[in-house]
Amino acid sequence: MIGADLTLTVRVPLTIRRRGGRKLVVAPEGSVVAVPARVDNALVKALARAFRWRRMLEEGRYGTIDEIAAAERINDSYVSRVLRLTLLAPDIIEAILDGRQPPDTEMHQLLRPFSVRWEEQRRTWLQREDDNEGRPAPRMRGVPRVPGVKTKQPCERTVARNGSPLAK
């Protein structure tokens, strides 16, 4: 076979996901891959802001969330959502700071309402990805209903493959 062109094609099923503005290669299920810890700077920055704003409130530099929002020139709703991060369990905060959070954790998920009970947070945030038969695990299950606060009830929608809603 001297002089013959030999072609070898290798196919590796993998997925590319965006995480913290970067692309992350996710290996096929069942394979063992040593992934170095990757600190998500957006999550770390949000935690730093949350604790800084909490300290400012505790020290009396600002009296309300609205005052912080005006001083930072941002929306008061955003300040409220970021401040809520100070209620995360210490081990979850440590995992985020060390880059050990689940690989599909994103900022918008952290800013959603979550339980203030650390045990529920651990079940929600530190669960294994493959607990859900290969699909990404739902991140915000088990959020308790607060008495006197109206919340939107989840509803089922049928969606086409392109993401547009279908009429029933």
Residues of the chain with pLDDT > 90, as a percent, come to: 40
Residue 27 CA to residue 29 CA, distance in Å, equals: 7
- Banded pLDDT at 37 (limits 50, 70, 90): low
Q: Which residue has the higher pLDDT, 3 or 161?
A: 3
Q: Let me know: does 142 contact 125? Beta carbons within 8 Å.
A: no
pTM for this model (two decimals):
0.57
For the chain, the structural domain boundaries read 36-132
Residue 150 CA to residue 143 CA, distance in Å, equals: 13
Q: What is the pLDDT of residue 20?
A: 60
Output the CA–CA distances (angstroms, integers) from residue 45 to 34, 54, 142, in the order listed.
26, 14, 26
Residue 103 CA to residue 138 CA, distance in Å, equals: 13
Residues 66-118 have pLDDT tens digits of: 999 999 999 999 999 999 999 999 999 999 998 888 877 889 989 999 999 99
The closest alpha carbon to 49, from 80, 18, 91, 89, belongs to: 80
The closest alpha carbon to 53, from 42, 41, 40, 69, belongs to: 69
- Banded pLDDT at 167 (limits 50, 70, 90): very low
Would you say residue 59 has pLDDT above 70?
yes
Would you say residue 2 has pLDDT above 70?
no
Name the CA dihedral angle for 108, 110, 116, 120, rounded to a multiple of 10 degrees. Answer: 110
